[in-house]
Amino acid sequence: MSTTILLVDDHRIVREGLRTLLGQQPDLTVVGEASDGRDAVAQACLLRPDVIVMDIAMPELNGVEATRLILAQLPAVRIVALSMYADRRFVAEILRAGALGYVLKDGAFEELALAIRTVTEGKTYLSPSIAGLVVEELVRRTETPGSPSLGGLTPRERQVLKLLADGMRPREIAQELAISAKTVEVHKQNLMNKLEIHTASELTRFAIREGLSTP
């Protein structure tokens, strides 16, 4: 029985290349494509694929947040992250969101089919150069258990943090989330208190490091 796949990447040429690659595998079938995180969530719910190949850095909604939303509705879906970044924070955040695989784009054509087959079996697949970063992150967090992370934030605080990092002003965020500007300021202050951060620029850098926003 063929494994069905949804390809998610904001670059059409990347999707076309991956579709061609996977089309050569008799046990893998690409059933759809999406160009951003919001479209990925919609297509996942419509197509219910076995595996989603998910780019991390995308407009509208990044791969980490899209992964969380998809798995909240379709917990049986397996997700393989696809990224240009060999950064332990990106790796740790997407794995915490529920992805089972992480493949670097420069090795995607050699590794992707294997990664898909691996996660289909419920196992984790990491590009070889990524595996060491994951170990380093685990060690770092063990040594500094009190270090700030996204894990301590509420869903609304995550939303506010992402929009702040994306360059929106509190008044614009208030309109986007249908809340008052004063409430946005309260969330912003709570974020600073929880994360031990003191300026808006530091909040932005933290959001980018944690994979919630992109540079």
For the chain, which residues make up each domain, given as ranges? 3-141, 150-209
Which residue is it, tokens 């063990």?
Answer: 142
Q: Do domains 3-141 and 150-209 have the same CATH topology?
A: no
Sign of CA dihedral 64, 11, 49, 108: negative
Grade residue 201 by pLDDT with cuts at 50, 70 and 90: confident
| Arithmetic mean of pLDDT, 168-186 | 90
pTM, rounded to two decimals: 0.65
Specify burial of residue 117 (Cβ count, 10 A radius: 0-12, 13-18, 19+). middle
pLDDT at 79: 96
Q: Closest Cα partner for 165 from 207, 209, 211?
A: 207
Distance from the Cα of residue 41 to its chain's centroid = 12
Tell me how far apart the alpha carbons of residues 110 and 133 are, in angstroms, rounded to a whole number. 20
- Residue 92 clears pLDDT 50, i.e. is over it: yes
The per-residue pLDDT for range 18-52, each reduced to its tens digit, is 999 999 999 999 999 999 999 999 999 999 999 99
Mean pLDDT confidence for 188-211:
82
Residue scoring higher pLDDT (93 or 19)? 19
Architecture of domain 150-209: Orthogonal Bundle (1.10)
Are 34 and 43 in contact, with CB atoms under 8 Å apart?
yes
The pLDDT of 91-116, averaged and rounded, is: 87
In angstroms, the CA 111 to CA 106 distance is 10
Residue 83 has pLDDT above 60, yes or no: yes
Instruction: Please give the C-alpha separations between residue 210 and each of 71, 92, 151, 176, in angstroms, as whole numbers.
Output: 19, 8, 10, 22
Task: Tokens for 86, please give them.
Answer: 């060999």
**Res 136 pLDDT > 80:** no
The CATH architecture to which 3-141 belongs is 3-Layer(aba) Sandwich (3.40)
Q: How far apart are CA 18 and CA 7, in angstroms?
A: 8
| pLDDT mean over 56-64 | 85
* pLDDT category of residue 148 using cuts at 50, 70 and 90: low
44-64: average pLDDT: 92
Query: Which two structure tokens, joined as six digits, stand for 37?
Result: 């995180």
Confidence grade of residue 215 (pLDDT, cut at 50, 70, 90) = low
Distance of CA 72 to the CA centre of its chain: 14
Q: Where does the chain have alpha helices with state H?
A: 12-23, 37-47, 63-73, 88-97, 108-120, 128-143, 155-165, 170-177, 181-195, 200-209
